[in-house]
Chains A and B, each alone.
Chain A
Amino acid sequence: MTIRELTLALPPRRRARWLGIALTALLIVAGTRLAPALLPDPAVPSGTLPGGAPVPPVAAGDQAPAAGATGLVSPDERVAFWEPRVAADPRDYLSALHLADAYADRARATGDLADLQRAEAALIQAAAVAPNRLLVLPRQAQIAFALHEFPRAASLADEVLAESPNDLTALAVAGDALLETGDMARARQHYDRLNILAPSAPVWSRMARLAFLEADISAAFSLVGRAIQDAEANGFADEAAFYRYQLGELHRATGDLAAAGVAYETALVALPGYPAPTIGLAMINEGQGRRTEAIALLETATNRLPTPEALAALGDLYFLAGETEAAERAYALVERIGEIARATGAVYDRQLILFAADHDRAVEAAIALAESELELRHDIYAWDALAWALYKGDRLDEAAVAANHAMALSTPDPRLAYHAGMIAASRGETDLAERWLTQALAGAAYLPPLQVPIAEEALAALSDRRQ
């Protein structure tokens, strides 16, 4: 069933429930292979990692890796194993901890918010009887991070690190939370520490993301390459699929669509049905003029994991294909997800701000949300979201200030360049606008589909004006 059919077929109440289940598509906690806490947490919102919303997979149900047998049983099986143990003996804090891990892994695979809530409940039960709170706190930090409660996640992680400075989980969560809130220097310190204590693919993947943000694209490619090699040599097919996806995102951001396509397809061979590379592949198809294929891929991905960003992209493609009613239904679905998401936290705020600004829907509310988010997070993507919303609200001077913050690291993210370029153009800063829009369009497959023709028209207008 396609998204179009689904939105038509479901009665409102069931649709809302279905959407609720989908809300945690990006909410994951750390992985389960090397260091349980070390897999990058793709719960980061759109824009913090090239391509938006990577979802490192786990072997769950039909997502079982096709190659490189890891031997790790699925989260479903682990939940089924640990649940009766926990129920049988309330003293059994170890089983409760493992059950929490299994719930969290299953949430990563299915996007079921309820599993994160179950994980929290299991951790509360464990905390009541565990002899050492350091067994529980790092996991609670992970869950808080997955819920985008960054200050709480950082606080919990710091509490652990105060007693156990080399706790890998706490170091990873603290570093990730620092990155999400814009403290790059301290995030780097944590990652460097992790790299000393546990040099491994999950750490290199994190460092690659940091390198990308700081515009060291060469280092980013190198680190992701190391992560892939390491994961594949160790037989961690699902992890390798995530790193292949991350590689694809780097290629897509830098305009190498062929290489990006290979990376996504390789990820999908290792892990068929994995939504994140499916979305990436859809964007590649759109970038290469194969809109029908792009729509089909996005329908597949969003049927499986309907994230706001992917649904918005699907709506854009419908719109560009002339299917305006289908587009509007997809957009309405994004907004409905937003309403539900806000009732449970701030997980999708950033995606929703950008969606609203991109589509000129409830722009004032988007500005307010962006300003609110900036109070908690000071990373470049928080500034970018605010800049874009302010621009759409015709507050151009403020938008320019915010855009300057967003571009402070020269991060080679085409979306940042697009926003900054449009803002500069509106202020008559022709040279700057041309440079940034040119940069943005070099990675056009990275932009929301509906924004590409807008960027092209703006650049052409600048050229005309110069002539």
Chain B
Amino acid sequence: MRTAILNRGVTLFVLALLGLAMVVGSAALRVGAADHLDAPTVKSDHRIDINDVYVFQGANPANTVLVMTTNVHAGFLSGTSFRPGALYEFKIDNTGDAIEDVAYRIKFGDVRGDGSQQVHIQRADGAGNPVTGGGGKQVAKGSTGQALSVADGGMAWAGLADDPFYFDLVGFSAFKSAALAAVGGGLTGAELAGALGNICTSDPASNFFAGFDATAIVLEVPDWALDGNNASGVINVWGETAIVESGALTQVERMGLPTINTVFNHSDPTKEAYNRANPSGDPALVGGNISFLVSAIVGAAEQLGLYPGGIDEAAYGAAIANLLTPDVLTYDTDLMADFTALNGRGLNDDVINVAYGAVSAGVLTSDCVAEDNTLSGAFPYLGTANP
């Protein structure tokens, strides 16, 4: 299991790197969350843009919950519907090769006068229902805003909800501006310290995502439906969206871990290509970018005295690239989700605090944002949409 090789310190530092890496990966970032609006196709229709993917244990410990939020700032930057005819997918690998063994495929009908849409959910898991392509066995059908029963156990829900992501984006942006020029060119400790001065300028700091909604798909199914009763109970999960292009259903977006495409790919063509690729090819596709960037950041962090014993920047960069690829959320279905341990991702997990704490070697342990989620302990777990 991938998480087993990580001690907490390494994990913290990985997340710290992610935090710093956002410095240089924000060219296409309009609202600055995990994977928002990262490439031209998804920027053309926010509804097919995946914000975040979450994987965690259900209220029933025998179940796993998959959540995909889409359509950042729904209602403010675009409407609140799902794109009719588009395919929204959860993909699950339960054999460790980052190739899907199970897929849940969600489609939405035309938007009705009241804003609701019909929802169809299919499951594909084998020869009878090939995971390749866009089909599968129908396991749920209904309307957005309704809790739907899933065949063979489980529940599904799709609709508008409070976006669970929280972050002082403004403070981070100022930090980013201050640090941007120096990344890759020898960021000094003093420069880094100066940049970090933009964080926590008030307490509590502003949560840029407070009061915003996202469209969300929530699927809760028995663990066995995902892990196939494999020995480890470990699965790899990612989300995808696909639309019809030139007459063919085409994958246009994917996401597992937060920020990977946003941070480590730096041009529209590479972001677009990444979104259309499969995770199994990630080491070759993005590994070099990760290694280069992480090495540069480690070099800067070293000047702050974070590594009294020194560090092999290149080796560390390569190790992190190996860790972060393939871009999937690894989750042990026998455990509670905890993003700090890279085991799934809970709705309330605070990536940013962890990252900042590591970036500042313990001096800065928070972006001073208090989470504002009104999550529920019961399905569908998300907070209700803002009035």
Q: A131-B26, A235-B81 are in contact. Are A69 and B169 (CB under 8 A)?
A: no
In the complex, the answer to whether B26 meets A234 with C-beta atoms within 8 Å is no
Q: A131-B177, A234-B84 are in contact. Are A92 and B40 (CB under 8 A)?
A: no
Which residues of the partner chain B approach A200 to less than 8 Å between Cβ atoms?
Answer: 44-45
CA distance A349 to B268 in the complex (A): 39
With an 8 A cutoff between CB atoms, is A348 at the interface? no
With an 8 A cutoff between CB atoms, is A34 at the interface? yes
Q: A89-B206, A91-B173, A92-B170 are in contact. Are A235 and B79 (CB under 8 A)?
A: yes
User: Which of B59-67, B111-119, B334-342, B348-356 forms part of the interface with chain A?
Assistant: B111-119
Which residues of the partner chain A approach B32 to less than 8 Å between Cβ atoms?
Answer: 94
Q: Which residue on chain B has the smallest CB distance to residue A82?
A: B76
Which residues of the partner chain A approach B180 to less than 8 Å between Cβ atoms?
Answer: 131
Chain A: minimal CB distance from B168 (Å): 10
In the complex, the answer to whether A69 meets B76 with C-beta atoms within 8 Å is no
In the complex, the answer to whether A71 meets B40 with C-beta atoms within 8 Å is no
In the complex, the answer to whether A135 meets B176 with C-beta atoms within 8 Å is no
With an 8 A cutoff between CB atoms, is A129 at the interface? yes
Q: Which 3 A-B pairs have the closest CB atoms?
A: A235-B111, A71-B80, A69-B115
In the complex, the answer to whether A234 meets B81 with C-beta atoms within 8 Å is yes
Q: A69-B114, A88-B206, A97-B30 are in contact. List 7 more A-B contacts (CB 8 A).
A: A89-B170, A89-B206, A134-B27, A166-B40, A197-B41, A234-B81, A235-B110
Which residues of the partner chain B approach A73 to less than 8 Å between Cβ atoms?
Answer: 75-76
Which residues of the partner chain A approach B44 to less than 8 Å between Cβ atoms?
Answer: 34-35, 38, 168, 197-198, 200
Q: Which residue on chain A has the smallest CB distance to residue B178?
A: A131
In the complex, the answer to whether A34 meets B111 with C-beta atoms within 8 Å is no
CA distance A392 to B44 in the complex (A): 47
With an 8 A cutoff between CB atoms, is A409 at the interface? no
In the complex, the answer to whether B113 meets A233 with C-beta atoms within 8 Å is no
Contact of B111 among A89, A131, A234 (CB under 8 A): A234
In the complex, the answer to whether A131 meets B76 with C-beta atoms within 8 Å is no
Number of residues in A with C-beta < 8 Å to the partner? 44
Which residues of the partner chain B approach A71 to less than 8 Å between Cβ atoms?
Answer: 74-75, 79-81, 115, 160
30 contacts between A and B (CB under 8 A): A33-B79, A34-B45, A35-B43, A35-B45, A68-B111, A68-B115, A70-B81, A70-B115, A71-B75, A72-B80, A73-B75, A73-B76, A81-B76, A81-B211, A89-B206, A91-B170, A91-B174, A91-B198, A93-B173, A94-B30, A94-B31, A94-B173, A98-B77, A129-B173, A131-B26, A131-B173, A165-B268, A167-B40, A199-B245, A236-B79
With an 8 A cutoff between CB atoms, is B83 at the interface? yes
With an 8 A cutoff between CB atoms, is A36 at the interface? yes
Q: Which residue on chain A has the smallest CB distance to residue B208?
A: A94
Interface hits, B20-46 → A, CB 8 Å: 26-27, 30-32, 40-41, 43-45
Which residues of the partner chain B approach A98 to less than 8 Å between Cβ atoms?
Answer: 76-77
Number of residues in B with C-beta < 8 Å to the partner? 43
With an 8 A cutoff between CB atoms, is A132 at the interface? yes
CA distance A139 to B45 in the complex (A): 17
With an 8 A cutoff between CB atoms, is B78 at the interface? yes
Q: Interface readout for B101-115 with A: 1 if CB under 8 Å, 0 if not?
A: 000000000111111
Which residues of the partner chain A approach B85 to less than 8 Å between Cβ atoms?
Answer: 233
CA distance A89 to B115 in the complex (A): 35
In the complex, the answer to whether A132 meets B40 with C-beta atoms within 8 Å is no
Which residues of the partner chain A approach B245 to less than 8 Å between Cβ atoms?
Answer: 199
Q: Which residue on chain A has the smallest CB distance to residue B71?
A: A71
In the complex, the answer to whether B113 meets A131 with C-beta atoms within 8 Å is no
Chain A: minimal CB distance from B129 (Å): 27
Interface hits, B310-327 → A, CB 8 Å: none
Interface hits, A173-190 → B, CB 8 Å: none
With an 8 A cutoff between CB atoms, is A121 at the interface? no
CA distance A342 to B100 in the complex (A): 63
Q: Interface readout for B170-202 with A: 1 if CB under 8 Å, 0 if not?
A: 110110110010000000000000000010000
Which residues of the partner chain A approach B111 to less than 8 Å between Cβ atoms?
Answer: 68-70, 233-235
With an 8 A cutoff between CB atoms, is A32 at the interface? yes
Contact of B176 among A36, A89, A131 (CB under 8 A): A131
Among the interface residues B44, B75, B113, which one has the most CB atoms of the partner chain A within 10 A? B44
Q: Interface readout for A110-150 with B: 1 if CB under 8 Å, 0 if not?
A: 00000000000000000001011011000000000000000
Q: Which residue on chain A has the smallest CB distance to residue B180?
A: A131
Contact of A32 among B41, B77, B176, B269 (CB under 8 A): B77
In the complex, the answer to whether A166 meets B268 with C-beta atoms within 8 Å is yes
Chain B: minimal CB distance from A181 (Å): 25
Q: A35-B45, A234-B81 are in contact. Are A135 and B113 (CB under 8 A)?
A: no
Which residues of the partner chain B approach A93 to less than 8 Å between Cβ atoms?
Answer: 173
Chain B: minimal CB distance from A382 (Å): 32
Q: A33-B79, A131-B176, A234-B84 are in contact. Are A69 and B113 (CB under 8 A)?
A: yes
CA distance A198 to B45 in the complex (A): 8
With an 8 A cutoff between CB atoms, is A78 at the interface? yes
Contact of B80 among A70, A92, A164, A166 (CB under 8 A): A70
